[in-house]
Amino acid sequence: MKPIKIGTRGSKLALYQAHYVAELLAQRQIKSEIVIIDTKGDQIMDVAISKIGSKGVFTEELEIQLEKGVIDIAVHSAKDMQSTLPEGFELIAFTAREKTNDVIVSHHGSVNLADTAKPLVLGTSSTRRVATLKHYYPHVMTTEIRGNLQTRIAKMEAGVCDGLVLAYAGVHRMGYDSLIKQTLSLDEFTPAVGQGSIAVEAYQGLGHTFRHQITQAVHNAETGFCLQAERSYLRVLDGGCSIPIFALANYTDNQIHLNGGIVDLDGTRRIHKQVIGPPESAESLGKELANLVLDAGGGEILTSIKQQLNK
């Protein structure tokens, strides 16, 4: 059989993830090769993602190549995937999830958010992280920082900020564990939908045999149900990555525990709810959570955020 062509962005994190999927395939004697594709999100480095327009900046170019059949699958951080894919595209596998926490990475000896006496400037480009910091740790200052992990760390070391708020998954994948100074709680820093999992995207033209083999080798069913619930929540709120929405599902005792919410851009209000149900109801659990959050004031928050971002 021909090797499966795995499309990926060229960043180190993206390449790591593509190789990770290739390795899972190789464990089942499935041959693959990696094809690097440039994306708009990689080219525009000096503008905040929230200003480029969030819809698929990292995924559009890969989708064009999928549709042309230049690549068979595309590998992404699950977190970077829009809640609704364009017609004809589908996520066919999610890898077993890495620890989902956000962490603080710093070149300084110690950094602790709870230490209110020390002035602290943290770099992040995520509205969720900025708003969550404002909500729980208003003494912390933030500065917008972009680029891949290596660039961000270089900027931090050059003195742009004291530390960075990042996903543990990416930090770990890039081998920067030694810079982790604090692991943030999931209750406060509830992660972005999909954080910690790697997603495989395919176009409808992908043959049944490839599809089946890939799913067998790469997909983790428990993570799959969790992500289905989280992504269903995101779809109702129609987030886009610039809106500080968060959700995390856990699979325990054959039940999905889905919790999530939304926080105001300035951190004033934060809504956080939980729902529980069987994995087969993952999709409806997401909708149930969305309705709870919207009714508890999330609807107002969402409207006001959209107005602010459109200015």
Catalytic residue among 146, 155, 235, 269: 146
User: Which of 164, 170, 212, 163 has its CA nearest to residue 30?
Assistant: 212
Q: Which is nearer to ligand PBG, 250 or 255 (CB)?
A: 250
Residue showing the smallest CB distance to ligand PBG in the complex: 170
235 as an active site residue: the answer is no
Residues, the chain: 311
Q: Nearest approach, Cβ of 196 to ligand PBG (angstroms)?
A: 5
Q: Which is nearer to ligand PBG, 41 or 261 (CB)?
A: 41
Using N-to-C axis directions, what is the helix angle for 208-218 and 12-26, rounded to 10°? 100
Catalytic residue among 9, 241, 270, 273: 241
Q: Nearest approach, Cβ of 281 to ligand PBG (angstroms)?
A: 25
Q: Which is nearer to ligand PBG, 241 or 293 (CB)?
A: 241
Whether 244 contacts 262, CB under 8 Å: yes
161 as an active site residue: the answer is no
Catalytic residue among 97, 134, 152, 211: 152
Q: Nearest approach, Cβ of 76 to ligand PBG (angstroms)?
A: 8
Whether 20 contacts 95, CB under 8 Å: yes
Task: Output b/e per residue, 242-270; b: 16+ Cβ within 10 A.
Answer: bbbbbbbbbbeeeebbbbbbbbbbebebb
In the complex, which residues of this chain contact ligand PBG (CB under 6 A)? 77, 79-80, 166-167, 169-170, 195-196
Catalytic residue among 9, 129, 134, 173: 129
Q: Nearest approach, Cβ of 237 to ligand PBG (angstroms)?
A: 18
Q: Which is nearer to ligand PBG, 50 or 65 (CB)?
A: 50
Amino acid in the structure at residue 308: Q
Q: Which is nearer to ligand PBG, 56 or 196 (CB)?
A: 196
Percent of residues in the chain assigned helix, strand, coil, to nearest 5: 40, 25, 40
Q: d(Cα 72, Cα 211) in Å, to the nearest integer?
A: 9
51 as an active site residue: the answer is no
Q: Nearest approach, Cβ of 206 to ligand PBG (angstroms)?
A: 23
Q: d(Cα 159, Cα 66) in Å, to the nearest integer?
A: 41
The residues that are catalytic are 79-80, 128-129, 146, 152, 241
